[in-house]
Amino acid sequence: MQNGAQIEYDYSIAKAFTFATILFGIIGMLVGVILAFQMAFPELNNLAGEYGTFSRLRPLHTNGVAFGFTLSGIFASWYYISQRVLKVSLKESQFLMAIGKLHFLLYFITILLAVVTLLAGITTSKEYAELEWPLDILITLWWVLWGISIFGLIGIRRERTLYISIWYFIASFLAVAMLHLFNSMEVPTALVSGYGNWYHSVSMYSGSNDALVQWWYGHNAVGFVFTVPIIAMIYYFLPKESGQNVYSYKLSILAFWGLMFVYLWAGGHHLIYSTVPDWMQTMGSVMSVVLILPSWGSAINMLLTMKGEWQQLQSNTLIKFMVLASTFYMLSTIEGPIQSIKSVNAIAHFTDWIPGHVHDGTLGWLVFMIMAALYHMAPRMYGREIYSKSLMDTQFWLQTTGIVLYFTSMWIAGITQGMMWRAYDEYGSLVYSFIYTVTVLQPYYTIRAVGGLMYLIGFFMFAYNMYKTATAGRVLDKEPTNATPVAA
């Protein structure tokens, strides 16, 4: 390509992952809403036999959202962002194009197999790592392919400086590779003992060791899937959408290294008051509190990027999505450390305050940011204007209301649970039976289910808006520079 000539980016793989993001988002969130209504109305567990029970659907929901929806959104953003900040097109390398297509194919097959196996009850029973060993091998293969794509594009880049987003994508790749390999070490039982199904396995770890490795993995899977690559996305899309420079590049680097060094040590806070060594529990609590600094460093850096340009919130819905996502990130990363303090954890552990915390981060930070990213990408990938601003605005307010209903009901339910479980009479006996603590929370479960339903309806609006943008949006004469063009 001649110097100064326009680079023709290839969005074919980004488009494929965009489709997967919407598909698995619908599946994961729909199942989540069904589960929420099952919690409020237990008789709904009987609608589809064993395939409709909470125990079958819950892993499908968590995996569908965490590794179906989220990873699809991350990969779509990677194949879009990387070409632009590295100033290179996938078209320039047939090898990297083939790697990208194989990456998508193996990934899509894996997630479809995950849906089938989890519904069938085939699971390792390890949180966020329920998939059996054949699928773990598939995951390893396409994760390596993503790594080849990352370092391959970096290797042929024209832009010498690596923008901060690339740093975060690299960190996500390296950390999750390590986490997956160590936590997924398992022994296929049929190969060793001659008994059981060929796909069944048991963990190579046992007892407290298994718990330690699992929650070292579990918490950092949240960190390096739900956090690090999403920060990579907002560092690109918010400045690009607003036309503002990142407030502080130095702060972005400091927050990056702080996050890398601290996050990996915080997983022990999931095991407070368990059989793991007390010093490990304390380390998990301390590191969780320290984690506030790099987390808020990134979030404040994003909010200050809008300094002097806050009027854009009035007209640009995508800026609303991203600013509110940063705000929810701040909320979630102060709430988590508070729950990690031992005295607070004594009340919070095993209660509904925990899913309240998980979902204000997931729905407010993660999903909002991915939807905003895809909205920004769509006109540039399809060469068409966003189909409907009114639909986008309605979606924003509907989903924001749904999030607030969700996490406030779960905060109240969780603290109520924790206090009732710890209530003793003058004889040292429990005041409340366990079943009473369940029935008293039914109204809060109903509010949570309604909030989740509102959020799901908003996601269907998003899916429809994206579909109409790709097929019926007004054709653009040229690619927009900053603010995404949206029809009235």
This prediction's pTM: 0.95
Whether residue 2 lies inside any domain: the answer is no
From the list 171, 37, 51, the residue with the least C-alpha distance to 442 is 37
**Any bridge partners for residue 475, and if so which?**
384
Residue-wise pLDDT tens digits, 394-448: 999 999 999 999 999 999 999 999 999 999 999 999 999 999 999 999 999 999 9
| DSSP reduced 3-state for 202 | strand
Whether residue 477 lies inside any domain: the answer is no
Residue-wise pLDDT tens digits, 79-129: 999 999 999 999 999 999 999 999 999 999 999 999 999 999 999 999 999
| DSSP reduced 3-state for 323 | helix
Q: What is the CATH number of the domain that holds 435?
A: 1.20.210.10
Q: Does 3 score more than 50 pLDDT?
A: no
From the list 231, 123, 229, 240, the residue with the least C-alpha distance to 186 is 123
Identify the residue whose tokens are 């301390």. Answer: 286
> And the tokens for 325?
């996502």
Whether residue 295 lies inside any domain: the answer is yes
Whether residue 275 lies inside any domain: the answer is yes
Whether residue 480 lies inside any domain: the answer is no
Number of domains in the chain: 1
Whether residue 488 lies inside any domain: the answer is no
Rounded to whole angstroms, how far apart are CA atoms 60 and 9? Answer: 35
Give 204's DSSP letter: S
How would residue 4 be classed by pLDDT, with cut points 50, 70 and 90?
very low
What pLDDT score does 329 carry? 96
Whether residue 251 lies inside any domain: the answer is yes
Rounded to whole angstroms, how far apart are CA atoms 318 and 323? Answer: 9
Rounded to whole angstroms, how far apart are CA atoms 472 and 253? Answer: 41
Q: 201-203 and 186-188: which strand pairing? A: antiparallel
Name the residue range of residue 289's domain. Answer: 12-471
> And the tokens for 231?
């920060």
Residue-wise pLDDT tens digits, 303-333: 999 999 999 999 999 999 999 999 999 999 9
User: Taking the C-alpha atoms of 138, 120, 460 and 72 in order, what is their torsion angle to the nearest 10 degrees?
Assistant: -10
Q: Does 6 score more than 90 pLDDT?
A: no
Give 99's DSSP letter: H
What pLDDT score does 2 carry? 43
| DSSP reduced 3-state for 426 | coil
Residue-wise pLDDT tens digits, 117-169: 999 999 999 999 999 999 999 999 999 999 999 999 999 999 999 999 999 99
Q: How many CB atoms lie within 10 A of CB 43?
A: 7
Residue type, 406: Y
Residues 6+ apart with CB under 8 A from 78: 146, 149, 150, 169, 229
Residue-wise pLDDT tens digits, 43-78: 999 888 999 999 999 999 999 999 999 999 999 999
Q: Does 474 score more than 60 pLDDT?
A: yes
Whether residue 157 lies inside any domain: the answer is yes
